[in-house]
A = this chain, B = another copy of it.
């Protein structure tokens, strides 16, 4: 059960993965070089594979192939594919968590804004993997640690828990939904029949012109700032001074 505990083996990642056919010249060179797996190596490769092939085509067997091992080897580290995907989610959230760690305990609104941007950034950098985030529950150690930090920041500013909860939920929902919409229109199937539809439904076409990629940023900012402004003006948030 070493793998499931926190201990990582001393010699991790032997560099040139995937060769697997070479033989070590150490004594008793019977088998091909062992894959040298670990939690980290596996979930990073998993994310990379999802980024490349897409979620639907991701399989443990393919992952094993790029890892230079059999599919079942993965199961020694993760009990199931589901669990592995949870770990991938964690991996993604690390980037979001980084924006609040070590931040000065002022300006919770600014922190929330940065988190929102980082979250949407994930959708852009990992469009194929992002839907994982939207469906899964954040119930891991690291995401809890991240939230703890974020909420602690709010408390230090004197924001009531009720207000914190409310705005966190509203803002995170908005970001999640917006990014998902974005991905669906940008990376969805390039349906040629859509042009015909647009021709018959003129109002949809006219309004959709304002949802083109080049307006997405401004639309996102608009909605986000709308919510953050409400937070700034909410009773129970920030002592008294609030920029005008």
Q: Chain A residues in contact with chain B, CB under 8 A?
A: 131, 134-137, 139, 141, 144-145, 147-148, 151-152, 154-155, 161-162, 164-166, 168-170, 172-178, 180-181, 184-185, 188-189, 191, 193-194, 197, 200-204, 206-211, 215, 219, 222-223, 226-227, 230
Q: Report 8 cross-chain contacts, Cβ distance below 8 Å, ordered by A residue.
A: A137-B189, A144-B197, A148-B201, A154-B207, A165-B219, A169-B211, A172-B177, A177-B177
| Chain A contact residues: helix, strand, loop or mixed | helix
Beta-carbon contact of B197 and A141 below 8 Å: yes
Q: In the complex the two chains form, is B169's CB within 8 Å of A203's CB?
A: no
Q: Which residues of B contact A185 (CB under 8 A)?
A: 137
Report B-chain residues with C-beta under 8 Å of the C-beta of A200: 144
**Which chain B residue has the least Cβ–Cβ distance from A222?**
B166
Complex CA gap A191/B137 in Å reads: 10
Known: A139-B191, A197-B141, A204-B148. A173 touches B169 (CB 8 A): no
Which of chain B's residues have a CB closer than 8 A to the CB of A131?
134-135
Residue of B nearest to A211 (CB): B165
Inter-chain contact A173/B172, CB cutoff 8 Å: no
Docked-complex contact A197 and B135, CB < 8 angstroms:
no
B227 engages A223 (CB within 8 Å)? yes
